[in-house]
């Protein structure tokens, strides 16, 4: 087994482990800030960038089955292409995910479902959808509203507490 095949296997395993770690455990930031100015250089010259280069470089040498000036130059070009293409692919995916997860603190006229209501204390909890996931928020100030569990209402407020606006029929 040639050295470039060993590099390909090792880089592939590390890439799969870091991808699985990011998928199951969230973003695992193992990148180091090299003190480089500009977002592009500091993002490309990173652990992931090094893995992408190693995969592209060693894959090219493995496919050519020889180490010559031409194969090394092709490997370097392919490695650099892997770094830039995968950088822009990650950036595109990250931007698309961020569009779906906009952080909002103020809640205006949002549909909610009463989860819990204490008639004596006029306080309870409602289910609302924030950033694409259902969450419970405290419901306060519902004088004049006869609420029951499962009832649909419109609420306004903040992430900490909402107030009923109207019933949904």
Looking at the fold, whether 78 and 29 belong to one and the same domain comes out as yes
Indicate the DSSP class of residue 140.
Answer: E
Higher-confidence residue of 107 and 63: namely 63
Which residue, 100, 128, 152, sits at the end of a domain? 100
Cβ pair 46, 31 in contact under 8 A:
yes
pLDDT higher than threshold 70 for residue 61: yes
pLDDT of residue 64: 93
Looking at the fold, whether 59 and 121 belong to one and the same domain comes out as no
Cβ pair 49, 39 in contact under 8 A:
no
Cβ pair 5, 58 in contact under 8 A:
yes
Range 49-72 average pLDDT? 92
Indicate the DSSP class of residue 114.
Answer: E
CA-based nearest residue to 18, from 46, 45, 42: 46
Looking at the fold, whether 92 and 125 belong to one and the same domain comes out as no
Looking at the fold, whether 16 and 92 belong to one and the same domain comes out as yes
pLDDT of residue 37: 45
| Helix H or strand E encompassing 57 | helix 47-64
Q: Where do we find the tokens 């819990």?
A: 116
Which residue, 100, 128, 149, sits at the end of a domain? 100
Looking at the fold, whether 93 and 113 belong to one and the same domain comes out as no
pLDDT of residue 141: 74
Looking at the fold, whether 94 and 112 belong to one and the same domain comes out as no
The band of 32, judged by pLDDT with boundaries at 50, 70 and 90, is very low
Looking at the fold, whether 14 and 84 belong to one and the same domain comes out as yes
pLDDT higher than threshold 70 for residue 155: yes
Which residue, 100, 121, 143, sits at the end of a domain? 100
Structural domains of the chain, count: 2
pLDDT of residue 13: 93
Looking at the fold, whether 31 and 70 belong to one and the same domain comes out as yes
Q: What residue numbers bound the domain in which 92 lies?
A: 3-100
Q: Are strands 106-118 and 133-140 parallel, antiparallel or unpaired?
A: unpaired
pLDDT higher than threshold 50 for residue 51: yes
Instruction: State whether residue 166 is helix, strand or coil.
Output: strand
Looking at the fold, whether 79 and 21 belong to one and the same domain comes out as yes
Across the chain, mean pLDDT equals: 80
């Amino acid at each position: 087994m040639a050295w470039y095949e060993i590099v390909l296997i090792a880089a592939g395993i590390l890439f799969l482990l870091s991808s699985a770690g990011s998928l199951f455990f969230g973003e695992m930031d193992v990148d180091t800030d090299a003190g480089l100015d500009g977002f592009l250089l500091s993002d490309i010259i990173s652990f992931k960038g090094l893995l992408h280069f190693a995969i592209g470089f060693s894959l090219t040498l493995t496919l050519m089955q020889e180490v010559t000036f031409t194969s090394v130059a092709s490997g370097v070009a392919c490695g650099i292409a892997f770094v830039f293409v995968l950088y822009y692919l990650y950036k595109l995916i990250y931007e698309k995910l961020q569009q779906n997860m906009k952080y909002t603190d103020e809640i205006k006229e949002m549909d909610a479902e009463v989860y819990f209501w204490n008639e004596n204390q006029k306080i309870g909890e409602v289910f609302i959808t924030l950033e694409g996931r259902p969450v419970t928020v405290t419901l306060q100030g519902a004088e004049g509203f006869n609420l029951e569990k499962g009832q649909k209402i419109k609420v306004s407020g903040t992430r900490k507490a909402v107030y009923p606006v109207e019933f949904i029929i």
